[in-house]
Amino acid sequence: MKTTYNFNAGPCVLPKEAVKAGIEALQDFNNTGMSVIEISHRSKDWEAVMNECRTLWKELLQIPDNYEILFLGGGASLQFCMVPMNLLEKKAAYLDTGVWAKKALKEAKAFGEIVIVASSAESTYNYVPKKYTIPADADYFHITTNNTIYGTEIHTDMDSPVLLVADMSSDIMSRPVDVSKYAMIYGGAQKNVGPAGVTFVIIRKDILGKVSRHIPSMLDYRIHIEGESMYNTPPVFPIFIMTQTLKWLKKLGGLTAIHKINREKAELLYAEIDRNPLFRGTAAKEDRSLMNICFVMAQGRESLEAEFLDFAKSRGMVGIKGHRSVGGFRASVYNACPKESVQALVDCMREFEKIHK
């Protein structure tokens, strides 16, 4: 098999164990003689998978008992409207740190007043705003903890005077999280915990049922809680692979262990970006993401961008082209991206440097 170093921003690189288990389950799930994508989602065999997946989420994140875990469709983008539909009565506050945060607040405007407490748009979202005031009368405060396009990340669990809602699509399960500080955490699985097709929602039960508007059944968190994420047929294969991915993560040592690995990978690549005269980082150093490492050619060397992309591709690098809105390069080093891949990219950058000294 061709050696490939996968830095795609999503769908993400998955643990080999999860992929292997998926292949086996597609052929014969749990000795049923049927594929995992053929079985009834009401069968005991499938209910066991759902229960195992919930248990792994609870164990790994130490989720308190007063929270529910949902597995839904529609991606994080559907949550941009489900969150305000279920939680926004009069006013909500949003922190604008990138494209996805901006899309979330745009959807919320259809349901009530939106206050943007701070934004880093004026500097192309290359930092996370620090000094702002969260309105005490807001129904909730929404943040996007990791910004895939610009390579910034909120590294700590903040205190909020109102309900804190977080889109953690691209850094969930990459570090320990104090779930009790959040009223709700949501995200698409395809960055760190599985393939595209399933969305996770962690929500405190007591925050629901407070709005006066009618909520359609498919968009009502209470309906999905009552139906145990099976109000309609769940995305069975993505949930199966997510379960296998979380089993791999638990076996690895959980979130403390993966956080250490993620720091080592990021530090290795950032050190080379800072050292190599051909490249420069784009995010403020204190806000650099551990998941999405963004960089460009150094000033005066911009003409080498296309050449480096071709050079990296010839060395087996996949997915390092920056988002089309910003250009440059982006290496997404999610949980299952091995340190060997990061070292291969560093070696590639050093080799390119020798050519252009």
Q: Indicate whether 71 belongs to any domain.
A: yes
Tell me the angle at which helices 254-275 and 44-61 cross, rounded to the nearest 10 degrees. 60
Catalytic residue of the set 46, 96, 171, 191: 191
Reduced to 3 states (helix: H, G, I; strand: E, B; else coil), residue 141 is strand
133/75 Cα distance (integer angstroms):
30
Where would I find the H helices in 2-120? 16-27, 44-61, 75-87, 99-108
Compute CA 100 distance to the chain's CA centroid, rounded to the nearest angstrom.
11
138 and 29 housed in the same domain: yes
Active site residue 100: yes
Domain that holds residue 274: 254-355
293/328 Cα distance (integer angstroms):
11
The residue behind tokens 């979330």 is 104
Q: What is the pLDDT of residue 1?
A: 60
Domain boundary, last residue among 188, 221, 252: 252
Domain boundary, last residue among 252, 279, 310: 252
- Confidence bin at 3 (pLDDT 50/70/90): confident
Domain count, the chain: 2
pLDDT for 41-54, tens place per residue? 999 999 999 999 99
248 and 260 housed in the same domain: no
Question: One-letter amino acid identity for 235?
Answer: P
Could you tell me which residue, 2 or 313, shows the higher pLDDT?
A: 313
Predicted TM-score of the model (pTM): 0.97
The residue behind tokens 């956080």 is 259
228 and 262 housed in the same domain: no
Compute CA 142 distance to the chain's CA centroid, rounded to the nearest angstrom.
15
Cis peptide before 135 (omega within 30 of 0): no
Catalytic residue of the set 46, 57, 96, 100: 100
217 and 143 housed in the same domain: yes
Q: Indicate whether 5 belongs to any domain.
A: no
b/e code 241-269 from CB counts within 10 Å (16+ = b)? bbbbbbbbbeeeebbeebbebbeebbebb
Where would I find the H helices in 287-329? 305-314
Neighbours of 238 (CB within 10 A): 22
Active site residue 171: no
What is the domain-level CATH number for residue 161? 3.40.640.10
Reduced to 3 states (helix: H, G, I; strand: E, B; else coil), residue 331 is strand
pLDDT for 103-121, tens place per residue? 999 999 999 999 999 999 9
Domain boundary, last residue among 233, 252, 271: 252
Catalytic residue of the set 46, 96, 139, 167: 167
Active site residue 191: yes
Contacts of 199 (CB under 8 A, 6+ apart): 71, 72, 73, 74, 75, 76, 78, 79, 186, 187, 188, 189
